[in-house]
């Protein structure tokens, strides 16, 4: 006896339709997502120049009377208020007026945050509590809401706010005389908070430079250069301009017979100039210095313990083409031994080459008024090298 099982027509139809249902089940949930993404895509910001030209893109920020606006076609453009007719944004921004420092406790109450529009000489901030109009001439900064809240309400990380440069250079000569010269430099600064639109509370300055050289020739004494400098400064601001500081510096200079100089001091500083292009600080310090000199052919090893002061300045200037000029000077009189005063001057410039890489040149002049017998008091270095800029 043979049994024959007939397949149900309904089963066959379901087997044929099932792959289609499965495919539809995979595709259908994706359709609303694309539609939602399209609906959620923000509209571009609109910038209208005084001559009527229009540019669409995204407002980045405003500082010092200049609007920084990013566009896919034009890149990042900088527009002064005088050449701006209208500006409309979709994102929310914080508007900071001149003479209204941003504090950590009441920033969300004192600073208006919302979408902005500018027509003529008036800016309108559309906040949750209504509209607020501000004269353009009174605006110091315009910052996007995310950046504003991050710096005002969140704790700064240990590596955040670090800026500076790392430089290195070398040269060799192989001939009748064989010579090698290597120089390096590290200059770092960390400011809390790390933005210019909030008053600084703390600042840490670290600097190091070295210069090593050697010239050799058969049957001739080797000529050697070995100069090291390291310094650390911690600043505590008690007003936007005035700060207290602690400082420690260490120096070694074979050319001056200086084995080691240690300086420890406390004092005060004043920021005379600070804007988007330049900063100038002055400082006055009471310090203790210990000097240890090596023996020479005409004098034994000696050491000095000095109580004195340090008076100096620190200047930074941003030049056109992203060139950065720096200058640091320090004069150190010794009150218990007036003849043992010293001075240091450092001037340098960094020229951008590609992205964070640049080329640097610098001059460092170190002077000791009363060096050991057989050594000159003045030491001048001229350094060039490749530089990498750090911005965190």
Cβ neighbours of residue 109 under 8 Å, at least 6 residues apart? none
Cβ atoms of 138 and 125 within 8 Å: the answer is no
pLDDT band at 38 (very low <50, low <70, confident <90, very high): very low
pLDDT band at 28 (very low <50, low <70, confident <90, very high): very low
Mean pLDDT value across the chain? 86
pLDDT at 166: 95
Distance CA 58, CA 56 (A): 7
Cβ neighbours of residue 151 under 8 Å, at least 6 residues apart? 193, 194, 195, 198
pLDDT at 111 over 90: no
- Burial per residue of 127-158, b for 16 or more beta-carbon CB atoms within 10 angstroms, e otherwise: eeeeeeebebeebbbbbbeeebeebbeeebee
Cβ atoms of 311 and 343 within 8 Å: the answer is no
DSSP letter for each residue of 153-191: HSPPPTTTTEEEEEEEEEEEEESSSEEEEEEEEEEEEEE
Distance CA 328, CA 344 (A): 8
Distance CA 349, CA 165 (A): 11
pLDDT at 107: 56
pLDDT at 331: 96
pLDDT at 95: 93
What structural domains and CATH numbers belong to the chain? 45-153 (no CATH), 162-391 (2.40.230)
pLDDT at 41: 65
64: left (phi over 0), alpha (psi -120 to 50) or beta: left
pTM of the predicted structure, to 2 decimals: 0.79
Q: Calculate the CA 185 to chain-centre distance.
A: 16
Tens digit of pLDDT for each residue in 174-216?
A: 988 899 999 999 999 999 999 888 888 999 999 999 999 999 9
């Amino acid at each position: 006896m043979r049994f024959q099982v007939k397949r149900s027509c309904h089963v066959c139809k379901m087997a044929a339709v099932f792959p289609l249902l499965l495919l539809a089940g995979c595709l259908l949930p994706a359709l609303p997502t694309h539609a939602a993404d399209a609906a959620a895509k923000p509209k571009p910001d609109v910038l209208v120049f005084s001559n009527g030209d229009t540019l669409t893109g995204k407002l980045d920020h405003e500082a010092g009377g200049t609007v920084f606006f990013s566009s896919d076609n034009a890149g990042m453009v900088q527009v002064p208020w005088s050449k701006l007719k209208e500006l409309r944004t979709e994102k929310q921004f914080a508007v900071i007026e001149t003479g209204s420092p941003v504090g950590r406790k009441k920033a969300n109450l004192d600073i208006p945050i919302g979408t902005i529009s500018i027509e003529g000489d008036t800016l309108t901030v559309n906040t949750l509590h209504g509209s607020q109009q501000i004269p353009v001439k009174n605006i110091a900064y315009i910052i996007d809401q995310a950046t504003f809240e991050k710096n005002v309400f969140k704790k700064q990380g240990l590596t955040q706010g670090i800026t500076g440069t790392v430089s290195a250079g070398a040269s060799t000569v192989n001939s009748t005389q064989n010579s090698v010269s290597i120089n390096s430099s590290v200059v770092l600064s960390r400011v809390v908070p790390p933005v210019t639109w909030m008053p600084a509370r703390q600042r840490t300055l670290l600097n190091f430079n070295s210069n090593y050289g050697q010239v050799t020739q058969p049957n001739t004494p080797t000529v050697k250069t070995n100069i090291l400098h390291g310094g650390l400064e911690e600043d505590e601001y008690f007003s936007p301009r005035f700060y207290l500081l602690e400082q420690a510096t260490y120096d070694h200079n074979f050319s001056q017979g200086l084995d080691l100089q240690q300086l420890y001091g406390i004092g005060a500083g004043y920021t005379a100039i600070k804007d988007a292009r330049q900063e100038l600080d002055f400082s006055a310090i009471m310090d203790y210095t210990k000097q240890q000199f090596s023996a020479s052919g005409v004098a034994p090893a000696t050491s000095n313990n000095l109580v004195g002061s340090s008076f100096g300045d620190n200047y930074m200037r941003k030049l056109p083409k992203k060139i950065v000029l720096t200058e640091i000077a320090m004069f150190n009189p010794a009150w218990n031994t007036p003849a043992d005063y010293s001075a240091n001057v450092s001037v340098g410039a960094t020229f951008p080459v590609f992205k964070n890489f640049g080329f640097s040149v610098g001059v460092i002049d170190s002077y000791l008024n009363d060096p050991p017998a057989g050594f000159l008091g003045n030491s001048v270095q001229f350094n060039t090298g490749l530089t990498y800029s750090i911005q965190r």
